[in-house]
Amino acid sequence: MIQRWLLAILVLLAPLAGCTGDSSDYEKIPEFTVLTEDGNISNNNFDGQAYVIVFSAQWCSNPCHANLHNLNLSVPGIDVLVVSTDIDAEPNGVTLSMWKDSVNEFDDDNENNQTLQYPFSRVDPTNNFASEMGIESPGTVVFVDSLGHEMYRQLGMFGAYNDQATLDTIKGIWDDTLLGSTE
Ligand SMILES: [Ca+2]
């Protein structure tokens, strides 16, 4: 009787102990391939380095534009992959490069006018990376450490465009991502 009771507890605890496949509290993001106008990008392109994935879409201006520009204002030069969650290659006729242009125009009237160097991509409809991540809509930012663990997930806006507290928050998240998960 006692043994059966113990077994039940162990069965209940097993998924909690083994869910990440390693000793980290953070889960690895799934293997992925996304499509760009110049070819595919996959996990392998970021082997051994921390990076950020911005899930967005051609038709997402708020919070997506401010988040993208705040990322580059806060931590310029880091690797950021922009992914459209729309399975349509050109929603409303907007290509990936047209989309990138419109994101870059967002701050053209500001003193900190930027031209983002991030690759703009879209999910592969036959192997939808965003869905695998549980992301069904744009406006989500995921920070990935050098071992491929999801360290932080931002839903919606970090904060107002070019707001110093917001930029400091992003910097803190990135610094934690560089430190990585404890193994
Ligand atoms: Ca600009």
What residues have a C-beta under 5 A from ligand 1, the ion? 104, 107-108, 113
* Distance between first and last Cα of the chain: 38
Tokens 């809509």 belong to: 137
The CA 47 to ligand 1 mean position distance, Å, reads 30
Q: Which helix (H) or strand (E) holds 66?
A: helix 64-74
CA-CA distance, 17 to 2, in Å (whole number)? 22
At residue 10, the pLDDT reads 52
| pLDDT at 183 (0 to 100) | 57
**pTM of the entire predicted model:** 0.86
Q: Which parts of the chain sit beneath pLDDT 50?
A: 1, 15-21
Residue 6's pLDDT is 55
Residue-level pLDDT at 136: 79
Tokens of 17: 């102990």
pLDDT of residue 8: 56
Q: How far is the CA of 22 from the centre of ligand 1 (A)?
A: 42
Q: How far is the CA of 86 from the centre of ligand 1 (A)?
A: 24
Q: What pLDDT, on a 0 to 100 scale, did the predictor assign at position 126?
A: 95
Q: What CATH number was assigned to the domain covering residues 22-179?
A: 3.40.30.10
In the chain, domain spans = 22-179
Neighbours of 166 (CB within 10 A): 19
